[in-house]
Amino acid sequence: MEKGKNSKNQPGAAGGKREDIGMKHKKSDFSEWFSEILMKAELADLRYNVKGFLVHRPWSVLTMKNMYRYYEEEFERNGHDPAWFPALIPESNFKLEAEHVEGFAPELFWVTHSGDEKLTERMALRPTSETAMYIMYAKWIRSWRDLPLKIYQSCQVWRCDTKATRPFIRGREFHWMEGHDVFATMEEANEQVKEDMEMTENVMHKIYGIPFISIQRPEWDKFPGAVHTYVADSMMPDGKILQQPSTHLLGQNFAKGFGIKFKDNDEIEKYPWQTCYGPAIWRMFGSVVALHGDDKGLRFPYEIAPAQAVIIPITGLGDDARVVKKCKEIKQTLTSANIRARIDLSDNTPGWKFNQWELKGVPVRIEVGPRELREKTVTLARRDTGTKRTVKESELTSIIPRIGKDMSSNLRKAADDFLHKNIRQAGNIKELGLQLDKGGFVKVDFCTIDVEGIPCAEAIKNKLHAEVRGTRFDKIERPSGRCVVCGKTAACVAYIGRAY
């Protein structure tokens, strides 16, 4: 809470007792818990009067700005340059790649008028940017010297998704990043696919603490116009699967459609090979909230927390002016050391402030009262474990980052353990149904993820309301028996799950 906000009617404002904020229990009622935390932690307001669109409040935006920063640095470290492309895409652009327009047509938002005048050609709000970017790539690329071309942008996309919307998980407007790369050879494009998945590991897992399984999607569930699609699938606390960044080997399909050609060093004109990669920061933010939060509220990894430390003056015990002055001095010291810090000077009680900042997921709480003033110490409390310790004021700038790093590691490990404990196996269709009811991923021997496997995938979808997610991309797993559906000799080990 900021200084000057009246809180007389807030819980606990009348006394120093630590109040229960009344959160739903995450484990027993995840859906209600998630909805409640978005409101109570002031992450989003769902009352905007367009379905599937939400207002992002400062606390979520500050977090996502930090998330963007880590991913943008990773993109640029791997040779990508930033660019901004228009949000409006002419209908004719979509028609240049047949599979692409067919795949996205049902989800497009169309702009048909400029003022009162009808446009001569409809414009789509971008659902993704292949058709906006590649028409320009055809103008920029002429020679092998122009390759590789690696460009990314951070932007919004719009899709009229017909499925049930859920804030930060499935919506009609979401914030993401997309990398679009062009290479002279197929080998380079395949290496970029691997690099994309490494970026997912380096940022989404190591920084945000979201574990995942690398999966190659079945042929019937790949990106429209792609040769192959690879994804990072994670799991939410309710056992449902959530697709995270996907990377697509586009082959030469879009190059041929958009007329992207280059003259190689052998003087022969050729079509290049392309990939695209889409990390959805919006969805990852929802995953951070869901995976790391507890019954007290949010728990942000230290690296992306909007505030890494909050300073609470313990007033009403004497020396209030000196306590507040010291808190301000500490905030300045932390800020100078590049530690994002806030000070709560509201007239709420300390107990209410403790609960409020725990709800908001601040990694470290600093308590300063008359005793700390006398002893030149502060009391630190960790958000993840709740443990307290007294440290010298002079040690703050070195201790807080260490606590933060340890807290991020703890959150990541807990999420890793949760994922690994929820990967199961099934040997037949009945057992598959029983295992799916427990949530998570279920490994089965499966006939094939080529188009011949569609009937078996449809049977699983119709009987068990689950999806064939695909096969592992990061390691080879060999089947030992027959397909759990049709009984034919299995060609692969497939992962099955119920997804958002």
CATH number of 331's domain = 3.40.50.800
Q: Is 2 exposed, middle or buried (0-12, 13-18, 19+ CB in 10 A)?
A: exposed
Domain presence at residue 33: no
Q: Residue 364: inside a domain, yes or no?
A: yes
Instruction: Give the mean model confidence (pLDDT) for residues 313-335.
Output: 93
The predicted pLDDT at position 220 comes to 96
Q: Where does the pLDDT of residue 325 fall: very low under 50, low under 70, confident under 90, or very high at 90 and above?
A: very high
Q: How confident is the model at residue 474 (pLDDT cuts 50, 70, 90)?
A: very high
Boundary residue ending a domain (291, 319, 341): 291
307-321 tens-digit pLDDT: 999 999 998 887 899
Residues 196 and 318 in one domain: no
% of the chain at pLDDT higher than 90: 88
341, 274: one domain: no
Residue 151 domain flag: yes
- 18: pLDDT strictly greater than 60: no
346 and 459 assigned to the same domain: no
In a domain, 392, yes or no: yes
Domain match, 456 and 331 both: no
For position 21, what pLDDT does the model report?
57
- pLDDT tens across 211-252, in order? 999 999 999 999 999 999 999 999 999 999 999 999 999 999
Tokens 């759990």, residue?
Answer: 484
Region 398-416: mean pLDDT is 98
CATH, residue 132: 3.30.930.10
Instruction: Please choose, from the candidates 82, 262, 80, 260, the residue with its C-alpha nearest in 3D space to the C-alpha of residue 181.
Output: 80
Per-residue model confidence (pLDDT) at position 2: 39
pLDDT of residue 20: 52
End-of-domain residue from the set 386, 419, 452: 419
Q: Answer yes or no: do 393 and 446 share one domain.
A: no
Last residue of a domain, one of 361, 391, 419: 419
401 and 252 in a common domain = no
The set of long-range contacts for 54-57, using a CB threshold of 8 Å and a minimum separation of 24, is: 54/167, 54/171
Residues 246 and 196 in one domain: yes
Tally of domains within the chain: 3
Residue with more model confidence, 76 or 107: 76
Q: Which two tokens stand for residue 82?
A: 């930033």
What are the pLDDT digits (tens) for 20-79?
556 788 989 999 999 999 999 999 999 999 988 999 999 999 999 999 999 999 999 999
Mean pLDDT, the chain, rounded, equals 93
Give the pLDDT confidence score for residue 95 in this predicted structure: 86
Per-residue pLDDT for 105 more than 90?
A: no
Which residue range forms the structural domain that includes residue 493?
423-497
Token reading at 108: 């497009």
Same domain, 64 and 199: yes
Confidence (pLDDT) at 13: 31
| pLDDT (mean) for 249-265 | 96
Shared domain check, 430 and 387: no
Per the CB < 8 A criterion, the answer to whether 47 and 35 are in contact is no
Position 1 pLDDT exceeds 60: no
Domain co-membership, 363 together with 407: yes
User: Does some domain include residue 184?
Assistant: yes
Q: Is residue 48 part of a domain?
A: no
**Pair 91, 225 in one domain:** yes
CATH of the domain at 487: 3.30.110.30
pTM (2 d.p.): 0.93
**304 in any annotated domain:** no
Establish if 50 belongs to a structural domain. Answer: no
Asked if 79 and 101 sit in the same domain, the reply is: yes
Mean pLDDT value of segment 148-154: 98
Question: How much is the pLDDT for 99?
Answer: 80
pLDDT at 176: 97
| Contact indicator for 174, 282 with CB cutoff of 8 Å | yes
